[in-house]
Structure 1
Amino acid sequence: MGTITREIEPEIETNPTIPVKSLKEKIQKKHQIHVFELKVRRAKKVANDKKYGDFIQQYGMLRAYLEQLVKANPGSHVKVDVEPCLDPNSRTRQFRRVYICYSATKKGFQMLGREFLGLDGCFMKGPFPGQILTSVILDANRCIYPVAFALVEAETLHWWTWFLECLKDTLDFPTDANFTFISDRQKVIRCSINAVFVAVNVVFVAVNAVNVVFVAGLIPGLQNVFLRAEHQFCVRHILENMRKQWRGDVFKNMFLKAAGATSIPYYLKAMEEIKEADATLYDWLNQIPAKSWSKAHYSGRAKYDMQLNNMCESFNKQLVGARDKPVITCLEYIREYMTRRIINVRNMVSKVAGPLTPNATKTVEEIKTEASQLTVLMVDAHTYQYKVSMRGEREIQNMHL
C-alpha cells in the first residue's frame, strides 16, 4: 500500500477531491496492473491523513494548538467545553465544542459599531459530523466581516445559547443590547451523530453513533441571552420555502413587494393583492411575524436596509474546503482565510483616494445622479415638493426640512 500511496500523493495534492475510481484507472493505465479499489481507497486515506492530519490524533493536539493560538494572538477569546466520561476515576474527557474570536476581528467589530449581526451554521462533512456556527457583519465597504465562530455538535437551543453567551462576553454586549440579528428560518434537523469525542488527558477517540432529532433554537437562544434584541428572517429563505408550494414569478413578485414595502399602507395593499391571488399563501405568510421580514414593520433600530443573510452564506461558502478536514486543519483553514481577508482589505484601503470606501463612493455617485433628475418646488420655508420618474411612474413627495 505504501507504493500506491506514494503514487497517488501528487494527484491528491493537485486535486484533493479526485474519486477513488479515477485514481485506480490512472494507476492501472500507468503500470498495466490490476489494483483492487479497496486498496486504492485505503491508500487515499493514508495520503489524506499525511497531508491534513489524522482526525482522531488531532483531537489529542487540540489543547496545545489553542494555547499556541492565544499566545500568538494576544487578546483572542477561546473557549473549549469538555465533559467527563462515564468512569468517574478516569482522566478521560469528552470534547464537545470550541469557540474562537480573534483579537483583530473583535477590534474591527468594535470600530465598525454596527448593531446588525448575521448568524448561521453549516455542516461538517468528516467522519465526526458537527456544525460550524458563524457570526458575520458587513464592513464599511459592504463586504463580509467574520467576527467569531464555533464548532459544536448541532444547531440546538442549548448550543446556540452557549455560542451567543460566548459572543456577548467576547464583544462586551450588555444584556439589554439593542442589537438586530438576521438568520435563516428555523428548521428541524435530523442527523446521525458520531461526533462525541473521548480523551485521555487530551487524546480524543470516537464513540458509537446515535440518531437524534434536533429543533433549531436560535430564536429562543436570542430571547434568553439578548433580552431586547430584534430578529429578522432572511427574505430569500422565506421565498425558497414559499416556492415549494407557490411557484412562479407572480407569487414571487407579490411577496417581494410586501417584504420591500416601506410603510404600513403599502404593506397592507401588497398583502391584499396576495390574498386575492391565493388566500392560502396569505394565511401562510401571516403565520410569520411581519416584523421579522417586512420593512414596513422594522423598528429602524438597525439603521440598515438589508433583508438577506448573504453575508453568512458568503462566509460559509468560503469554508467548504475546511468542513471535511480534521479539527485543527479546519480551524487553521478558517484562521488563514480570515487573515488573508484582513490583509486584502487593508491593501485595498491603502489605495483608496478620498474619505469613502469604493462601494460608498459608488453609492454616493448613484444618489447624485438620481438627484439630478428631480424637479424641486418650494412650498414654504420648510417644505419642498419634488417629482421623480422611475420605471415609468411619476411620484410626488414632500420633504420637511
Structure 2
Amino acid sequence: MSKSRQLSVKYIAKDFLALFRANPIWHAKEIQQAVKEKHKWLAYNAKNCTYRMVLGSMRDHYSKIGCYLAALKKESPTSTFELLIAPPGFNNQDPNSNLETFFRLFVYFDGVKRGFLAGCRKLLCLDGCFLKTFLGGMLLAAIGRDANDQMYLLAWAVVEGESIDSWEWFMEELRKGLEVKDGGKDWTLISDQQKGLLNAVSLVWKNAEHRNCPRHIFANWYKNFKGGELKAYFWQACRAYNEADFNDAISKKKEISVGAVEAFMKQNPQSFVRCFLKNHTCCDVIVSNMAETFNGSIVKSRSKHIIYMLEDILVSTMIRLTEKHSEMVAKDVVVCPRIQDKLDKAKKFGF
C-alpha cells in the first residue's frame, strides 16, 4: 500500500495542534487512535467505492431480478418464484409514478419441496433476519429438520420488514407451495414471539400447533429473575416430559421466588413446555435454533447485493443437500447416525 500524500506528518501535526498544546506528552498510541477516529470516514468511502467497482450498483442489481428469476424458472419450471412490485405511495413515493420498485420476493424450489415432504417431519422453524445493506429489508425463512435431525432450508423471502402483512404473505405463499389444507392441521411451527409472525400464523395456519421458543422467553424472563438455581429450574420445567416433573420444577422455583413462577406461567407454558405439546409430529423440539443457525450461516451474504445474496443461499443449499445425501448413502445403517446417538444416550441414562 502506498503512503498517503494528504495524510502527512505535517498535516496531522497542524490538525491536532490544539491537543498537542493541551497535552505535550500525548502518547503515540493515543495519537494513532485519534487519527483513526477522525478519518474513519475515509475507510467507509473506500469500502463503498470498492463495492461499486466489484459488485456494481444496487440499482443495477434490482433491475436485473426479473431476468435472474426468468433464468431460474427456465432451469426449474415447477419451482415458485413470486416477485411483488411496491404498491403506489410505498415509502413516500409519488402515487402517480409509473416507476416499478422492488417490494417482495419469495423463493421456493420444487426439488427442495419434494425432498422435504419425502423425508422430513411436518415441523418448521420460522425466523427473520436483517439485510445489512444501506437499503435495509428482512430475509424471512422456513427451516425444517431432515431425517438425521439436521437443518433443512425449505423456503426464503426478501421483504421490506417484519410486520403482520409481510409474515402473512410469506405464510400464505408457503401454505400454497406445500399444498397445506385444513389450516395447517397436523403441522407444527416454532418461532420467537414476534407479534407479526404470531398473528400471521393464527390467520393462515390457524389449526397448526405453534410452539414459542423458550430461549427467547427465557431472555426476557431472566432480566427480572436472575440466579443459577432459577435458571436451572426454568429449563428443567421446559424440558419436562411429564406433568409430575414439571410441577416439581415449578414447586422448587416457587420456594426461591413466587414472582418468578407467576411471570413464567403468564407466558403460556402450553406453548413451550414439552409435557404439554402435541405428539403428532413425533418431535420434541422446543427451540428454534435451526432458524438461528441458518441466519448465522449467511451473515456475510446478507451484506451483499441482492442477486449475489440469493445466489449464495441457493448454492450453499445445493452443496449442503448434496453433501448430506452423499454422507448417508455411504453409511449402511437402518437408523440415521444422530438419531442413533440419541437412542444410545437414552439407553445409557435408562439403566
Same fold (TM over 0.5): yes
Q: Distance in 1 between matches of 2:202 and 2:297?
A: 29
Aligned length: 315
Q: Distance in 2 between matches of 1:32 and 1:45?
A: 19
Q: Which residue of 2 aligns with 1:59?
A: 62
The question of whether the paired residues in 2 share the 8 Å contact of 1:121 and 1:155 is answered with yes
Q: Which residue of 2 aligns with 1:102?
A: 109
Deviations 1:293-326 (A, max 9, x none): 1112112222111121111111111110111111
Q: Which residue of 2 aligns with 1:254?
A: 233
1:229 to partner: Cα distance: 0.8
Which of 311, 317, 335 is equivalent to 1:356? 335
Secondary structure at the aligned position of 1:92 is classed as coil
Q: Which residue of 2 aligns with 1:48?
A: 51
Q: Distance in 1 between matches of 2:290 and 2:58?
A: 30
Which of 173, 190, 208 is equivalent to 1:182? 190
**Structure 2: unaligned runs, 5 residues or longer:** 8-38
The one-letter code sitting in structure 1 at the alignment partner of 2:213 is C
Q: Which residue of 2 aligns with 1:190?
A: none
Q: Distance in 2 between matches of 1:100 and 1:312?
A: 16
Q: Percent identity?
A: 28
Q: Distance in 1 between matches of 2:251 and 2:167?
A: 37
Q: Which residue of 1 aligns with 2:83?
A: 80
Q: Distance in 2 between matches of 1:49 and 1:125?
A: 16
Q: Distance in 1 between matches of 2:165 and 2:251?
A: 40
Instruction: Kindly indicate which of the two structures has a greater share of residues assigned to strand.
Output: 1
Deviations 1:17-36 (A, max 9, x none): xxxxxxxxxx4xx3463358
Q: Distance in 2 between matches of 1:95 and 1:299?
A: 40
Which of 123, 144, 154 is equivalent to 1:147? 154
The question of whether the paired residues in 2 share the 8 Å contact of 1:123 and 1:132 is answered with yes
1:41 to partner: Cα distance: 4.0
**Structure 1: unaligned runs, 5 residues or longer:** 1-26, 187-215, 374-401
Which of 106, 113, 118 is equivalent to 1:111? 118
1:284 to partner: Cα distance: 0.9
Q: Distance in 2 between matches of 1:265 and 1:350?
A: 42
Q: Distance in 1 between matches of 2:96 and 2:213?
A: 48
Instruction: Kindly indicate which of the two structures has a greater share of residues assigned to helix.
Output: 2
Which of 286, 290, 303 is equivalent to 2:282? 303
Q: Distance in 2 between matches of 1:272 and 1:366?
A: 28
Q: Distance in 2 between matches of 1:364 and 1:182?
A: 24
Q: Distance in 1 between matches of 2:281 and 2:80?
A: 26
Q: Distance in 2 between matches of 1:280 and 1:84?
A: 48
Q: Distance in 2 between matches of 1:280 and 1:295?
A: 22
Does structure 1 residue 323 correspond to structure 2 residue 302?
A: yes
1:50 to partner: Cα distance: 2.8
Which of 169, 172, 188 is equivalent to 2:179? 172
1:84 to partner: Cα distance: 4.6
Q: Which residue of 1 aligns with 2:255?
A: 276
1:161 to partner: Cα distance: 0.6
Q: Distance in 2 between matches of 1:265 and 1:364?
A: 23
Q: Distance in 1 between matches of 2:324 and 2:146?
A: 10
Deviations 1:239-288 (A, max 9, x none): 22222122221111111111122222322232222222112111111111
Secondary structure at the aligned position of 2:301 is classed as coil
